[in-house]
Amino acid sequence: MNGVPILLNNKAFTPFHFYSYFLSSVASFYQQFPKEKITFFLIGENEKESFLHSYYFDPITIPLFLSLADQLTKFHNEPISLELYNTHSTNKVLAFLDRSDFFKVSGNFAKPGKNILKFNKEYLGFFNLNEQRPEHKVRFYSLNEVNSSHNMINVSTAEQQRDLLIEYYTYKVKDHFEDILKESHQNNKVVFDYVQILSELITNGVLHSKSDVYALMFTDREKTCFSISDNGIGLFSSLALKEKQIVNDSYKLFDLYNELLNEIPLNVADKIKQSFYAIFEALYYSILKDRKGLFDLMTTVVLDSNGYFRLHNNNAQIIISLRMFNEIQSLVNMRNLIYDNHLKYISKLITKDEFMTVFNELTLVVRNEFKKLISNIISNYNQDVKYSSIRLYEVRFKGVHIEVEIPKKY
């Protein structure tokens, strides 16, 4: 039986390992066996008899792996086999995955089973008792779930659909994640912002990316981590489907993207370059909106929480931290002015002409600030690939994937 092991001895299955090594192993399998369906092994076949091996499945990698399994299931039109081994070395990993609802979500269970993985259920259960927080579970969000309870078919406009989904997922996010967020933040406004932003991102995944969304939040003594992953159409295609392509007199969609392609050299394959620049087009679009979203999540994590924000789109990933404080703070100042301008107009404190005058001016300033940021990022990448803020991959991982790390002291 041909396949790829998930866990390797003394090698943590982290997002970094997933993007840098595991996806390459999956791609190599299909290059070697193009007509076969892949099988995943929990551990390598030659390791299953070992008593002393050590394995670790990073919790925030679970949404990434499930998103990949979802993609492969759609490709093959049937679930992907997952070979399990319940040994002394794997028992703790199996127990954690079981308690995190990994098998419940991915298997053919009645609810919410996605039926994307096929495994022997006899390996599950009867694990040693171990305290694991009930909040440490992988969550699965689907438009079908909303349809079954709210009948989205009868909602006439896209804006009404969006409002319904935002309301629905705000309730879900509060239920699933608010307790953990409150432990990481004493500031109720920051917690409120996280709830609103995560609800917005989940809505984007199911509505615009046309995908199911997997998410997990995990906390320990040092940090709180969050991962959200969809396997949809990606940032570029999602933006291309926006009904409103012209934002204002100073910007229509893909203005920044096209400028970056033409003006800022990046010596990589076109597919990688396009994935990378689409990230910044999406952030630029987000900073101009009257709703908080992707850009606001990034800055809340980095500036308000002193954390790390990672955003992966198809073949590219950016990693934002306080190392970019000056550039990010400048953009945040512009974002605050834009958001305040929106609020004044919505509250009818200014006329439409007054709103658009300010909006057009700020739009151009923001575009120039983004170009400075991107130029600095690429310059640092060209000088030192290993420690740069971007990761560029030959292997495409479809969709949009976000990981967040927030130090516990905040």
Q: What is the mean pLDDT of residues 225-250?
A: 87
Say yes or no: 207 and 73 in one domain.
Answer: no
Tell whether the model's pLDDT for residue 147 goes beyond 70. Answer: no
Residue 203 included in any domain: yes
Say yes or no: 144 and 98 in one domain.
Answer: no
The answer to whether the beta carbons of residues 234 and 71 sit under 8 Å apart is no
Say yes or no: 214 and 239 in one domain.
Answer: no
Say yes or no: 91 and 157 in one domain.
Answer: no
Say yes or no: 185 and 303 in one domain.
Answer: no
Tell whether the model's pLDDT for residue 380 goes beyond 90. Answer: no
Say yes or no: 327 and 382 in one domain.
Answer: yes
For residues 5 and 7, what is the distance between their CA atoms, to the nearest angstrom?
Answer: 6
Closest-CA residue to 16 (of 405, 409, 410): 405
Say yes or no: 97 and 215 in one domain.
Answer: no
List the domain range (segments joined by +) for residue 81: 1-119
pLDDT digits (tens, 9 = 90+) for 259-294: 998 888 888 899 999 999 999 999 999 999 999 999
Tell whether the model's pLDDT for residue 127 goes beyond 80. Answer: no
Residue 25 included in any domain: yes
Q: What is the mean pLDDT of residues 375-403?
A: 90
**Is the model more confident about 149 or about 328?**
328
Q: What is the mean pLDDT of residues 94-112?
A: 87
Q: What is the pLDDT of residue 410?
A: 44
Q: Which of 41-50, 52-61, 132-141, 327-336 has the lowest mean pLDDT?
A: 41-50
Residue 157 included in any domain: yes
Q: What is the mean pLDDT of residues 67-74?
A: 96
Q: What is the mean pLDDT of residues 53-71?
A: 95
94, 119, 144 - which closes a domain? 119
Say yes or no: 308 and 375 in one domain.
Answer: yes
Say yes or no: 21 and 114 in one domain.
Answer: yes
Q: Which of 17-26, 105-114, 217-226 has the lowest mean pLDDT?
A: 105-114
Residue 262 included in any domain: yes
Q: What is the pLDDT of residue 112?
A: 67
> Measured between alpha carbons, how far is residue 231 from residues 192, 208, 224, 376, 396 in Å?
27, 12, 24, 30, 11
84, 119, 154 - which closes a domain? 119
Q: What is the pLDDT of residue 404?
A: 95
Q: What is the pLDDT of residue 242?
A: 80
For residues 148 and 126, what is the distance between their CA atoms, to the nearest angstrom?
Answer: 34
Q: What is the pLDDT of residue 37?
A: 96
Tell whether the model's pLDDT for residue 162 goes beyond 80. Answer: yes
Q: How many domains does the chain have?
A: 3
Tell whether the model's pLDDT for residue 244 goes beyond 60. Answer: yes
Q: What is the pLDDT of residue 337?
A: 97
The pTM (predicted TM-score) of the whole model is: 0.93
Say yes or no: 185 and 304 in one domain.
Answer: no
Q: What is the pLDDT of residue 130?
A: 65
**pLDDT more than 70, % of the chain:** 93
Tell whether the model's pLDDT for residue 330 goes beyond 90. Answer: yes
Say yes or no: 136 and 111 in one domain.
Answer: no
Q: What is the pLDDT of residue 90?
A: 87
Residue 228 included in any domain: no
Q: What is the pLDDT of residue 316?
A: 97
Residue 86 included in any domain: yes
Q: What is the pLDDT of residue 114?
A: 87
Q: What is the pLDDT of residue 215?
A: 97
Q: What is the pLDDT of residue 157?
A: 72
89, 119, 149 - which closes a domain? 119
Residue 68 included in any domain: yes
Residue 124 included in any domain: no
Q: What is the mean pLDDT of residues 297-312?
A: 94
Say yes or no: 100 and 173 in one domain.
Answer: no
Tell whether the model's pLDDT for residue 3 goes beyond 70. Answer: yes
pLDDT digits (tens, 9 = 90+) for 181-216: 888 777 888 889 999 999 999 998 898 888 899 999
Q: What is the pLDDT of residue 126?
A: 67
